[in-house]
Amino acid sequence: MASSRKSQTKSSSAIQRGVADVLSRAGVRADQTLQLALSGGMDSMVLLSVLAGLRERFGFALRAHHVHHGLSPNADDWAAFCAIRCAALEVPLSVSRVSVRPAAGEGWEAAARRERQGALASEAADWRVSAHHLDDQAETVMFRLLRGAGVHGAAAMRAIDMLPSGGGRLRPLLAFSRGQILAFAQAESLVWVEDESNTDPRFSRNFLRHSIMPAMGERWPSAATTLARAAANFDEAAGLLDELAVQDAQACGLPWSRDVMRSMSAARLANLLRWRMRALSLPVPDQARLHEAIRQVQSCANDRPLTLPLGGAVLHAYREVVWVSPTYPELPEEGVLWPGDAVVWGEGVVEAISVVGAGVSQARLAQATRCEIMARWPGCRVALVERPRKDVRSLSQGAGLAPVDRDRVPILRVDGQVAWIAGLGVAGTFACRAGEAGWRFVWRRPEAYSADGVALL
């Protein structure tokens, strides 16, 4: 019995030192806030206890966030339990209630995770902290490999994921097994809740956790540690592939050169496209769809434009360039009244900047009955400054606007007449004279939607 207590005490001190080491390596400062994802289960309650004990040493502010999924009849009790434990430790708690509705092709586990991550991200914090441990790491690697993941998908979760702007995500328990965490909880007389869904074998991860991993552990006692080491190796390989993608992206320019891409192997192009999609937080398509898109880009002549849907992303090729974007939001069927300042249009915002001697005449707009932002309509024609009257579609093509943009660029229509078109310019009849107050309109879009990452004036 004495030996058991000594072992538990040793495990407790090891976990406390391990968590403190992660905080130190991350450079957590006294002016920063840590947000702990608190389910009420054993892992997160252990981490809550340890972090609460480290506040005085590091000086950080600690908050907890519980996500109420509404999937269990015990969900209200879990939220109440978290509130009681946080109050006892003087840790502020936020509770978010979410509605879990799986999207097409999405399971309940994935849908709940998506809602949970969204709720946690909605609250500002310097560091987001979760209680993932060594066994979670091993299970994740196995689960993803069984789904055919590549090195990025099978790469390890990291104890410290830093953001360029500072802060990031911490997983201070990653070096510890479920058994070590249980020993800590027992040594500290902690209490926690049990989610009945965690034992339901209908969920793939539970089947893996309760049936496959224990059998592997009996045959190979160090299986979890070995899988975690493999995940670290995958992470290293993924980093090298990302470095290669950065080099290839620089060689291709922005937007990417179609001719340069033709000189690259399909595998190298696939790596470049996956890297770009991850950088834009876009879902990466399966291998078959991605390689078919690559085949079309490499085999089609430059005079053939391509718009290839790839799930949540779109691959574009126009003339000599190639780029990736998110799927485009629907445009309003009718025009949007211009309120005199900024107005949302599609994936961007139309802004009006007050200038002198340029842009659309403010006096003309002040006299107008109706000013609206619209997409191109049939028969839409305009005479730009010092140019003859022409069809807007022909003007867009001549200006080099990609086909995907020609029917999306915002047009300012004033009392039925075209006054300004993004990417083309101002109509002569609405142009400012020297010294006159004008509006310079700009359609600002996220870089992800633009071939060259610039706004359309």
Domain ranges for the chain, please list them. 2-230, 253-326, 336-449
Contacts of 170 (CB under 8 A, 6+ apart): 22, 23, 26, 28, 34, 127, 128, 129, 130, 159, 160, 161
Q: How many CA atoms lie within 13 A of 277 on its CB side?
A: 23
pLDDT value of position 205: 85
pLDDT value of position 293: 93
Mean pLDDT value across residues 303-331 = 89
Handedness of CA 216, 217, 223, 224 (dihedral sign): positive
39 in a known ligand binding site:
yes
43 in a known ligand binding site:
yes
More confident residue, 452 or 298: 298
pLDDT value of position 79: 94
pLDDT in tens, 412-450: 999 999 999 998 999 999 999 999 999 999 999 887 787
Task: Assess whether pLDDT exceeds 60 at residue 391.
Answer: yes
Q: Which pTM does this prediction carry?
A: 0.79
Mean pLDDT value across residues 59-72 = 92
Task: Assess whether pLDDT exceeds 80 at residue 174.
Answer: yes
379 in a known ligand binding site:
no
pLDDT value of position 2: 47
Task: Assess whether pLDDT exceeds 60 at residue 344.
Answer: yes
Task: Assess whether pLDDT exceeds 70 at residue 456.
Answer: no
Task: Assess whether pLDDT exceeds 90 at residue 152.
Answer: yes
What does the H/E/C string look like for the chain? CHHHHHHHHHHHHHHHHHHHHHHHHHCCCCCCEEEEECCCCHHHHHHHHHHHHHHHHHCCEEEEEEEECCCCCCHHHHHHHHHHHHHHCCCCEEEEECCCCCCCCCCHHHHHHHHHHHHHHCCCCCEEECCCCHHHHHHHHHHHHHCCCCHHHHCCCCCEEECCCCCEEECCCCCCCHHHHHHHHHHCCCCCCCCHHHHCCCCHHHHHHHHHHHHHHHHCCCHHHHHHHHHHHHHHHHHHHHHHHHHHHHHHCCCEEHHHHHCCCHHHHHHHHHHHHHHCCCCCCCHHHHHHHHHHHHHCCCCCCEEEEECCEEEEEECCEEEEEECCCCCCCCCEECCCCCEEECCEEEEEEEEECCCEEHHHHHHCCCEEEECCCCCCEEEECCCCEEEHHHHHHHCCCCHHHHCCCCEEEECCEEEEECCCEEEHHHECCCCCEEEEEEEECCHHHCCCCCCEC
pLDDT band at residue 88 using 50, 70 and 90 as cut-offs: very high
Cβ atoms of residues 183 and 191 within 8 Å: no
pLDDT band at residue 201 using 50, 70 and 90 as cut-offs: confident
pLDDT band at residue 396 using 50, 70 and 90 as cut-offs: confident
pLDDT in tens, 306-315: 999 998 899 9
pLDDT value of position 167: 80
Handedness of CA 351, 355, 359, 361 (dihedral sign): positive
Task: Assess whether pLDDT exceeds 80 at residue 108.
Answer: no
Cβ atoms of residues 71 and 16 within 8 Å: no
Mean pLDDT value across residues 230-256 = 93
Cβ atoms of residues 158 and 22 within 8 Å: no
pLDDT value of position 245: 96
Angle at 457 between CA 448 and CA 318, to 5 degrees: 50
pLDDT value of position 454: 55
- How far apart are the C-alpha atoms of 354 and 360, rounded to whole Å? 10
pLDDT value of position 377: 86
pLDDT value of position 362: 95
42 in a known ligand binding site:
yes
pLDDT value of position 366: 93
pLDDT band at residue 1 using 50, 70 and 90 as cut-offs: very low
Contacts of 73 (CB under 8 A, 6+ apart): none
pLDDT value of position 457: 61
44 in a known ligand binding site:
yes
Mean of the per-residue pLDDT values of the chain = 90
The CATH class that applies to domain 2-230 reads alpha beta
374 in a known ligand binding site:
no
